[in-house]
Amino acid sequence: MKRKLTCLLAALGVLLMTGTAMAHFMMVYTPEIALSEGKDLDMRIVFTHPAEAGHTMDMGGVQEFYVVKQRGDAAPKKVDMKPYLKEITWKNPGSSNKAYSAVIPKKEVRSMGDYVFVMKPGYYHEDEEGIYMQQITKLIVNVGGLPGNWAEPVGLPCEIVPLIKPYGIWTGNVFKAQVLSEGKPVAGAEVEVEYMSHMPDLKANALPEKSSVEYPHDSLITQTIFSDAGGYITFGVPKAGWWGFAALGVGPETQHDGKEMSQDAVIWIKAVDMK
């Protein structure tokens, strides 16, 4: 009996650790990604738990932060955005840590078309699991409704490539995308999905305690889907707002500083209600 109880407790511990790891999300946020015209973009970059306003983590600095611009049929242009970064302290209820703000000036997003923002952080060490994490994140902004390179790979070590405009989604649409590692489709990739139920307060640099969603069961906080044989994922979007997708451990880097590492691909989309 004692042995059975010990095994049960050990299994429960693994489940709890997995649930904790599942909630980690790199958040690259600006209030609106479908713009009528170019304007300054007030952005926040935080490694946190957007569905629960939970623990905020030190992302380990920023290796790269850039935008890939494309207007119409013109060739994409990559522009470094790191000079606009400013280190801040992000505060959630019961937690605070280092994060970044960036005010991207209008001159960088003044033309019609797509702007694919890419944030490649440093390495976060998850003490409970003894592993490192790195979440390479994309956020696609459109100006003026003229589509550009939103459906094209950026050439990242790992990425999620949308097959529906991530800035042009009605509530109830089906989001479809392809998971890539070094440009090749990843079959059977585990992809976690979270809703941003605590909207960022850019003045306070914080997630508020009050949630816009009541979760009746923990399984609905972070949902999990798997890519098919071609690396494709589909997800019915049930609610307006921000949705994050994280493909876990699909990157080519599997170790850092002599320890296991999960190199993840993240993308954020925004859905709106039809009126």
Mean pLDDT, each 10-residue run in order, the chain (275 residues): 37 38 80 96 96 92 95 78 98 94 96 95 92 97 93 97 98 98 98 96 95 94 96 98 98 96 98 96
Which pLDDT value is given to residue 128?
Answer: 84
Do 201 and 207 touch, CB atoms closer than 8 A? yes
Which pLDDT value is given to residue 72?
Answer: 58
Which pLDDT value is given to residue 19?
Answer: 39
Do 274 and 246 touch, CB atoms closer than 8 A? no
Going from N- to C-terminal start, the domains of the chain cover 2-272
Which pLDDT value is given to residue 54?
Answer: 85
Which pLDDT value is given to residue 76?
Answer: 78
Do 124 and 134 touch, CB atoms closer than 8 A? yes
d(CA 3, CA 127): 27
Q: Which residues contact 184 (CB under 8 A, 6 or more apart)?
A: 231
Which pLDDT value is given to residue 94?
Answer: 85
Decide: helix, strand or coil at residue 146.
Answer: coil
Do 118 and 140 touch, CB atoms closer than 8 A? no
- The pair of structure tokens assigned to 168 is 């042009």
Which pLDDT value is given to residue 167?
Answer: 98
Beta strand spans in the chain (E): 25-29, 34-35, 41-48, 62-70, 77-80, 85-92, 95-104, 113-121, 124-126, 131-143, 158-162, 169-170, 174-181, 184-185, 190-195, 222-226, 232-236, 241-247, 255-256, 259-272
Placement of tokens 């904790």 in the chain: 20
